[in-house]
Amino acid sequence: MEDKIKKIILEKIHPALKIDGGGIEYAGLEDNHVKVRLLDANQGCPSVQIILQMGILKMLQKELPQIKGIISV
């Protein structure tokens, strides 16, 4: 499952965030919660929780419904 998560982040999520000067990297998996590290413009973004829950989590769950949540580290 981790390989699939990494692929989704690399091919779908990172390019979408890069458009606005942001970035993301995979940081691990714990109890079906994906850990990510937000980079660049996303680090101090006041909308980061919305981005995590409504954007990134939804994209991951679309292909991996067993993902329960997302954690920013």
Of the given ranges (3-7, 9-13, 19-23, 67-71), which has the lowest mean pLDDT? 19-23
- Is the sign of the CA dihedral 73, 49, 23, 9 positive or negative? positive
Each domain of the chain, given as residue ranges in start order, spans: 2-72
**Three-class HEC string of the chain:** CHHHHHHHHHHHHHHHHHCCCEEEEEEEEECCEEEEEEEECCCCCCCHHHHHHHHHHHHHHHHCCCCCEEEEC
Average pLDDT for the chain: 86
12 has a pLDDT exceeding 70: yes
Whose tokens are 């937000």? That residue is: 38
Q: Which fold has domain 2-72?
A: GMP Synthetase; Chain A, domain 3 (3.30.300)
Encode pLDDT of 15-47 as tens digits. 887 877 878 899 999 999 999 988 765 566 666
Stronger pLDDT, 61 or 55, i.e. the higher one = 61
Q: Tell me how far the alpha carbon of residue 58 is from its chain's centroid.
A: 9
